[in-house]
Amino acid sequence: MVRVRFAPSPTGYLHIGNARTALFNYLFARHTGGKLILRIEDTDRERSKKEYEEMLIEDLRWLGIEWDEGPDVGGDYGPYRQSERLDIYNQYAERLLESGHAYYCYCSPEELEEERKKALSEGRPPRYSGKCRNLTPEEREDYEKKGIKPVLRFKVPDGRFVIFDDLIRGHIEINVDEFGDFVIVRQDGMPTYNFVVVVDDALMKITHVIRGEDHLSNTPKQILIYEALNFDIPQFAHLPIILGEDRSKLSKRHGAVSVRAFKDEGYMPEALFNYLSLLGWHPSDDREILSKEEIIEEFDIKDAHKSPAVFDRTKLRWMNGVYIREKIDINELTRRAVPFFEGFGYKADFEYYKRVMEAIRDSIETLMDIKDRARPFFIDEFEFDERAKEELSDETAYTVVQRFYEKIKDRDSLTGQEFKSIMKEIQKELKVRGRQLFHPVRIALTGEHSGVGLDILVDVIGIERVKKRLQRALEYFG
């Protein structure tokens, strides 16, 4: 039975890279019929915030990732928040101390800093000297008497290689001499990441640890702790980092990097889900638009790529456009669009918003595009730009608008179809066609030079607003 986990630290918004990690865990769990566990790693008391935890949960759900066990849904292996597991960590720290795999270290931060500098200046990798490894009981007592609080260090066996097969990166061998005895419980009694993650993964019966490559250097330390505690070692899969388009590590410099930012920028969760699944994986053929079910069906962590994935915003935008155009039911799409309409100051009821969405969904890529695309459906008193002024000052253009107005001024409705036949009449009467015929009307009705079909526009905004806009243009240019 596969059991995987996503273990975010609630210290900020859900980053795209972490969302990809969560997603790959989710996909692997669903593909194998296993379980996904959400564990909140909040041992960094300074930086962890409850609000961030809530937002993480909200953003994961928004993206369409569900978990089987977690702080909010419960489960048999809880608690699922590290801050609630401190007693458990203490027990295991005690065990490591008793079995001689850990020892108290009283070295002061200054001393350690000194040592670090020295190593660096001599071109050696900085690592703890092991000074407190073999303190006599008297020496220890002496420190205690002075009131010095120790840290607990893990005793790294000398001259060993840690060897493991990463499901993505293959065979890995690491010489433990690269790192010294590392801290597993801090002075303030808080256990460190490398220690608690092992205790949790073991007790939560995690079978596969799928996480970012930035944790690769932690893995040998963690394996040593697994061994010292006689725990079964899970399989590891380290996902390559995500790069920006300039091939440097994806960061805020590249624009939006949190799931929340994409949500706020009008992205569809289904599109982001689809896009993220392709950041370091692809199906057996060259399909790019895949449903959640199709991805789950095909996904295997063994097929995840080894080389870094480049985050391509243009492609994500394009994909989002496909979802907006083709994949989301119009009622649902409109529901999602309402806050955007409102945010842009476009006031109307749901039915009207829906008609506007029907009219513009083919021409937008994100809900932010509503701002420009939907403007003609809401704004009657727009500005005329220089080009518009020039074009409507032309006599023929003005006459077209005038003729159109005359033909509709006594009507009390105007469908798209009726609009089309009226324009045909004008074409015959004035002997103008194509752009010369339609563009003046477009300018008069919208102030713009391109956009939604005019038949659709008049149909949605209705005859009264059409009249009002025409009158305004005729007055302005008359």
Catalytic residue ranges: 252
One-letter-per-residue 3-state SS of 194-256: HHHHHHHHHHCCCCEEEEEHHHHHHHHHHHHHHHHCCCCCCEEEEECCEECCCCCECCHHHCC
Smallest gap from Cβ 125 to ligand GLU, in A, equals 23
DSSP characters over 433-458: -HHHHHHHHHHHHHS-SS-S-HHHHH
Complex with ligand GLU: residue 131 or 215, whichever CB lies closer: 215
In whole angstroms, how close is the CB of 63 to ligand GLU at the nearest point?
A: 17
Q: 360 and 452 in contact (C-beta within 8 Å)?
A: yes
Rounded least distance, CB 85 to ligand GLU, Å: 14
- What is the rounded distance in angstroms from the CA atom of residue 80 to the CA atom of residue 5? 11
Minimum Å distance from CB 232 to ligand GLU? 17
Q: Which residues of this chain interact with ligand GLU, rule CB under 6 A?
A: 7-9, 41, 197, 211, 215
Q: Which residues, in sequence order, are CB contacts of 451 under 8 Å at separation 6+?
A: 363, 373, 376, 442, 457
Q: Name the residue nearer to ligand GLU (CB basis): 41 or 459.
A: 41
Name which of 35 and 354 has its Cβ closer to ligand GLU.
35
**Shortest distance, CB of residue 34 to ligand GLU, whole angstroms?**
17
CB environment 18-57: b (16+ within 10 A), e (fewer): bbbbbbbbbbbbbbbebbbbbbbbbbeeeebeeebbebbb
Q: Distance between CA atoms of 468 and 478, rounded to whole angstroms?
A: 15
Query: What six digits make up the tokens of 392?
Result: 């409507």
Angle formed at CA 230 by CA 227 and CA 232, multiple of 5 degrees: 85
Backbone angles phi, psi at 272, to 5 degrees: -65, -40
- The residue among 43 and 334 lying less far from ligand GLU, judged by its C-beta, is 43
| Terminal CA-CA length for the chain | 78
Q: How crowded is residue 62: how many other Cβ atoms within 10 Å of its Cβ? A: 16
Nearer to ligand GLU, 155 or 215 (CB): 215
Q: Count CA atoms closer than 13 A to 337's CA, side-chain side.
A: 34
Minimum gap (Å) between residue 222 Cβ and ligand GLU: 8
Cα separation, 429 vs 438, in Å, equals 14
| Closest approach of ligand GLU to the CB of residue 310, in Å | 21
Query: Closest distance between ligand GLU and the C-beta of residue 86, in Å?
Result: 16
Q: Structure tokens of 187?
A: 């002075």
In this structure, how many other beta carbons lie within 10 angstroms of the beta carbon of residue 61? 13
What is the helix (H) or strand (E) element at residue 417, kind and residue range? helix 416-430
- Reduced to 3 states (helix: H, G, I; strand: E, B; else coil), residue 106 is coil
Which pair of tokens denotes residue 82? Answer: 């590290």
Judged by beta carbon, residue 9 or residue 32, the one nearer ligand GLU is 9
Q: DSSP for 33-83, please give it.
A: T-EEEE-B----TTT--HHHHHHHHHHHHHHT---SBBTTTB-TT---BGG
Cβ proximity to ligand GLU, 41 vs 59, nearer residue: 41
Nearer to ligand GLU, 211 or 263 (CB): 211
Looking at beta carbons only, is 92 or 346 nearer to ligand GLU?
92
**Least distance in Å: CB of 39 to ligand GLU?**
8
